[in-house]
Amino acid sequence: NPERMRSAYGKLIYLLQDSQQEEIREMMEFSLVRPLQSVHRFLTEKKMLPMLKDPLLHAATRVIAEKGKSRSQIQHELQKKRRAYNRVKDKYVGEGGMSEQDVELVMGSIADNNYFLKFNRDPCDEMIEYLRTRFNPEEEKEGYSLAIGYGTGGARLSHGHKTQYEYVMQTLHLWRDILHDFYRLWFLAEEDLLDPNNGYRLRNTGQGLNRIQNSPNI
């Protein structure tokens, strides 16, 4: 969406795209772009990839769900997580040349992804479950109709109950899958955008001149 490229991030991507042009790189004699450092790539370089399979790492980076738990139970789980966190540091600091900051960075990055999934993907799973258990696409019950009509409540089209049920279900599954792989999709999108062998073309898309580019990785 061109509108999303008008932020500081979008301007940065535009600048980096232009810097990848051959004549610009020759003039600067260096590249502004380098591969994104992921946890997997970092641990591969350190020859420490087996760390990702350590159950302690999972325990140290998991999200503590609060729903349906008492305060004492939550505190107990948080303490177990903290102990696991410290044990991972004790176990891996110095291994493969990793510093304490390196180990903390690995755990922090994994934890960030876990929290992203918890607060973005998991709500889609909950909504899918609500839709499955509380609505029947074949039966339009009073008070449970999903039907919409053009011009009513801001609707721009008309759908019967069953059609809208399928539409909502497909939409939730689509967003659930996108959010599940969100960081990988972002990573691949940037690889496409900044590939020096995959330049953009300026085209009028109906929203003014915009950069059009192939996206083989996506």
pLDDT, averaged per 10 consecutive residues of the chain (218 residues), comes to 73 92 90 91 95 96 91 94 96 94 96 95 96 93 89 88 95 96 92 93 90 92
Q: What pLDDT, on the 0 to 100 scale, is given for residue 98?
A: 94
User: Sign of torsion, CA 147 152 155 157?
Assistant: positive
Q: How many CA atoms lie within 13 A of 178 on its CB side?
A: 10
The values of phi and psi at residue 212, to 5°, are: -110, 135
Q: What pLDDT, on the 0 to 100 scale, is given for residue 7?
A: 81
Q: Which of 196, 189, 194 is nearest to 216 (CA)?
A: 189
d(CA 169, CA 146): 12
Q: What pLDDT, on the 0 to 100 scale, is given for residue 207?
A: 84
Q: What pLDDT, on the 0 to 100 scale, is given for residue 1?
A: 59
Q: What pLDDT, on the 0 to 100 scale, is given for residue 67?
A: 85
> Tokens at residue 28, please?
């600067």
Q: What pLDDT, on the 0 to 100 scale, is given for residue 213?
A: 93
Residue partners of 147: CB distance under 8 A and separation at least 6: 140, 159, 160, 161, 164
d(CA 33, CA 20): 8
Q: What type of residue sits at position 28?
A: M
d(CA 25, CA 3): 28
Q: What pLDDT, on the 0 to 100 scale, is given for residue 122?
A: 95
